Amino acid sequence: MKPDNEKLINDFLAHADDLGDDITADVKEMLGIVPFIFPILRDRPEVFALSAIADYRTSRPASLDPKTAELIAVAAAAGAGAESCLKVHMGAALKEGASRDEILDVLLIAAMIGKTRVLASSLRRFREVCDEGQAPERQAPER
């Protein structure tokens, strides 16, 4: 790393512990809760500060309003099977003005995509194994 960049980073990280306090307060305001991982990650103030700032900036992009960003986080958490994140981001979506129906619709869309993912890969294998040797006109076209 270039010495000038190293100095900038070291100067920034000298304030990592104080930044951690502010980041935690900002996230509590944003989500309504401090994620349980924060106190553990705070054992490594430099890593926590860099990671949490990146996550904070990613979760609130300038191109999206906070409600939309939280609804996307709900869909992502549902798709990842991250139950604790799902609960946190559902609450944050409500806090940002999402309705119960909007959250339900997001969950249903996430479930539909998950179902489609399973069907697409499974039915490709099914066709390879079970339709082998059949006349071409009996096989459905590739989609």
Q: How many other CB atoms are found less than 10 A from the CB of residue 106? A: 22
Share of the chain above pLDDT 70, in %: 92
Distances (CA, A) of 78 to 1, 114, 117: 39, 9, 14
The model carries a pTM of 0.80
Residue range 4-51, pLDDT digits in tens: 999 999 999 999 988 999 999 999 999 999 998 999 999 999 999 999
What is the Cα–Cα distance from 90 to 79, expressed in whole angstroms? 14
Domains of the chain: 1-59 (no CATH), 64-143 (1.20.1290)
Looking at the predicted structure, is the pLDDT value of residue 103 above 90? yes
Alpha carbons 49 and 46: distance in angstroms, whole number: 5
Q: What is the pLDDT of residue 135?
A: 56
